[in-house]
Structure 1
Amino acid sequence: MLLERMMRAGDADNALEQGWFLRELRERFGLSGEELSKRFGRTPSWVSRRLSLVAELPESVHAHVRAGAIGAHAAMKYLVPLARANRADGERLADAVAPLGLTTRQMAIVHAAWLGANAEGRALIVKDPGLVVRAHEEARRAKARPATPAEQMLSDLGALGGIAARVHQRTRRGEVRGLLAPEREEIRHAFSQARREVERLIKRLGKELDDARPEHANRDPATA
């Protein structure tokens, strides 16, 4: 009864103990994963993850989980698949991240970087996994930071140039010649509008850039 209560109420913090109990029940009484899940009111996936935590992780990783250096949930989700594919890699990465006390989210970042890296990149991750987390957080903060007016203008001009280049390539391929008369007229109208806007931009932006030269730095923009 005590075991059943623990298995029903337990969370990821004692997942390793749950895995040991589940393995004991499976091996001693021959209970299947489905039978265990029904007995303790859990899903077959819940049972499978805890059994894999015990069966597939090296003892050195168990030690990190028991010590609280690596969360059981992070170990189940990221280190078990890694150890399943390459046991030595699982141990290396676990030993590298254990001193950092990473959260599950941070462990996900390191795991994703590991999967996308070559042998040299993985060696760097093992050397300093914290650098991966810091770089990711910095990139996230930079992305969340509102773009400056200069960054917004550069982005818009880059998009404008890209669109112009794409339309130019279409004309070079002769796509205009294959249009029907109504389509050609519609494109002619759209082109006239676009040209007016671009000409206005060229005139205005050119003037603004000229006025922003050092020799004009003391001029009042409102008088321009």
Structure 2
Amino acid sequence: MRKIILLIAFSLICTAGYSQKKKKGAKKAAATPTALAKADNLTAELIKNNFYVFVNNKPKKDTLVTKNFEGLKSPSDVKITPFTAKGSPLYAINWTEVTITETKLKTETATVIVTQIWDAASKTKVLDNSQTTTNIKEIVFLNNTQASETREKVRREGFEFTLLPEGDVLLKNKTQENKMIYDATLKKFVNMPTKRNKKRRT
């Protein structure tokens, strides 16, 4: 009788221990954010294929940038640069996106450099710029025959972004160059007025 009681007690202890282990294993690990860049109280994070830039104001957290990268390569070269323009504290947020489009005859690799400038205090985006460089590889058939060759070319779109030391912005491509200054009243960058030579009166 004593042996039977001991066996029943042992089996109950084993069953309880197994069920507890099963419950612990059933818990899924929470998705941990990947920190990509940080400056002052701003952080860029990747959470479940979503790219965010947060402003960490205790006790709450505000969001400046949100972009989904589902099925795309994660953003790279992420930078947050604090600077001052016309006495206003601003942040330049940069990241690179790469998209590959393939067919049997053509492959296009598009590299997009995104720059956004934000007034974090008012959560206002004051400038948005994208520069795209697309590398194209294409198989071309010659003279309607089976002979073919691979041709490569580069296509560029948009403006190259440069942040100048005084807080102004230069946007430039092969044919155009725009210098922009910050207007604190409008909360945006505007084209710098060009100086015109005044004709002297005779």
Interval of TM-score (by shorter of Structure 1 and Structure 2): under 0.3
Q: TM-score, normalised by structure 1?
A: 0.20
Q: Whose strand fraction is larger, Structure 1's or Structure 2's?
A: 2
Q: Whose helix fraction is larger, Structure 1's or Structure 2's?
A: 1
Q: TM-score, normalised by structure 2?
A: 0.22
Q: Which has the larger radius of gyration?
A: 1
